[in-house]
A and B are shown apart, each in its own frame.
Chain A
């Protein structure tokens, strides 16, 4: 569904993405992990057309997505930090998003209900707490039933109850004709919801494997331990070659 080929992005002297190659197919739920500043958010922003790649190609269903805008109708994006116009109310925000797409009928309001956002429709967006903001972002990402879901640290800032609601929602939405990409530092969260792991470091793709393979290769049962195992091995190899 999404093909990334030799993707490179430079910010000044910092190489945020360095020759990324990957292909995401329908049915996959990808955990995008890596240390801070490894290029996770930049990769997502490139997929959304928010950052323009320097070289390489990004394709959505076979077509170059840097030249199109229409493909974003199939993407639901939950940003790491949701920033919204101060003067708008929650209800107006959702209304505007629907208006922009011509009021589609088949919308998914499950999260709006479960987070109790409808009762807060009159609240101005500037007055929202960080957690409520995250809830708004999450509800917006799911509302148009997109075929690609991009969730950048979805559970950060949510209270445990809301985080569970969101995780359950992601699990429910996993299906064969959808791609879900989630970044997080909470590996136990990702363990439940993902089928694949993509590990970035210093802008380079370290590996992209499905979770079961990774676990059998490392002999671990938890994702966190498996990742730690792989990292240790990488470090040893680097030492040996140095």
Chain B
């Protein structure tokens, strides 16, 4: 029954499963097409359970309330900012993790089909991220487009969308790292708690402990290491309330006020979306299902 195998057999005889004459571009297009197909079913599943619709309605209601109560000035945008910084990441992180665990059957079904793990994870991400971003753009975007169609409103939307995607990425990472649902959700919540609450406290302690030293630059670096802080600063600089932030605020204004600094900040937020997702993909590819 046994035959001899050379270790190079696999390398010299690549099984492509593709008919001859398939171009490189076509090969790349096919996983994307498959990904979108699967994402369609993920999206369909999400729309069925209505949580995302409720989230969109909640955002819409609060945005309308703030604009009606406080007018269309910086004040209402500040209030909205707090919603964007706390609620959007929290809902994104919890919803994505729970959805991932609930999709286990779906994922199991797909891994026995001729699609790659990368395609499956990408489709899940596109479906979940797409739904949450759409909810955000409807709930916050629509009122902002009506009441504050200016650079401030636009910044709020961009920051909110990026922050949503960051926390979907972190949620996926937490979900592929742990097999147990409760632990996965716990880990995801812990990440949210760290970035939204704990981190600021730690930074304050640091600032206090080393208050004898010039801390502007370390603070700047620390801010870049937390997507929530980064988003907050980007928005505050638009609202011209950075004067309230004292000397450190001046440094922020100087650095992040320049086009270079702003580009760097958005680039950093984009990295916060990509890096956890790349890590998650690596774990998922090797995972036993």
Residues from 21 to 37 in B contacting A, C-beta threshold 8 Å: 34, 37
How far does the alpha carbon of A61 sit from the alpha carbon of B9 in the complex, in Å? Answer: 11
Interface residues as binary, B93-121 with A (CB distance below 8 Å gives 1, 0 otherwise): 00000000011111011111111110000
Give chain A residues whose Cβ lies under 8 Å from the Cβ of B13.
Answer: 62-63
How far does the alpha carbon of A45 sit from the alpha carbon of B41 in the complex, in Å? Answer: 25
Minimal beta-carbon separation of A209 from chain B (angstroms)? 9
Give chain B residues whose Cβ lies under 8 Å from the Cβ of A52.
Answer: 286-288
B214 at interface (Cβ–Cβ under 8 A)? no
- A23 with B109: CB separation less than 8 A: no
A100 at interface (Cβ–Cβ under 8 A)? yes
A208 at interface (Cβ–Cβ under 8 A)? yes
B221 at interface (Cβ–Cβ under 8 A)? no
How far does the alpha carbon of A2 sit from the alpha carbon of B35 in the complex, in Å? Answer: 28
Which residues of B are at the interface with A, using a C-beta cutoff of 8 A?
Answer: 1-3, 5, 9-10, 13-18, 34, 37-38, 41, 45, 48-49, 102-106, 108-117, 286-289
Name A21's closest neighbour in chain B (CB-CB): B2
Beyond A22-B1, A96-B41, whether A68 also contacts B17 by CB under 8 A is: yes
A85 at interface (Cβ–Cβ under 8 A)? yes
Residues from 37 to 89 in A contacting B, C-beta threshold 8 Å: 45, 48-52, 57, 59-65, 67-73, 75, 77, 79, 83-88
Q: Which 4 interchain pairs have the tightest Cβ spacing?
A: A63-B15, A70-B17, A64-B10, A73-B114
How far does the alpha carbon of A65 sit from the alpha carbon of B114 in the complex, in Å? Answer: 12
Beyond A48-B112, A50-B108, whether A100 also contacts B17 by CB under 8 A is: no
Minimal beta-carbon separation of B110 from chain A (angstroms)? 8
Give chain B residues whose Cβ lies under 8 Å from the Cβ of A61.
Answer: 15
Beyond A84-B109, A87-B48, whether A5 also contacts B37 by CB under 8 A is: no
Given contacts A51-B289, A62-B13, 14 further A-B contacts (CB under 8 A): A23-B1, A45-B289, A50-B288, A52-B287, A52-B288, A57-B10, A70-B16, A70-B18, A72-B112, A77-B112, A83-B108, A83-B109, A84-B105, A85-B105
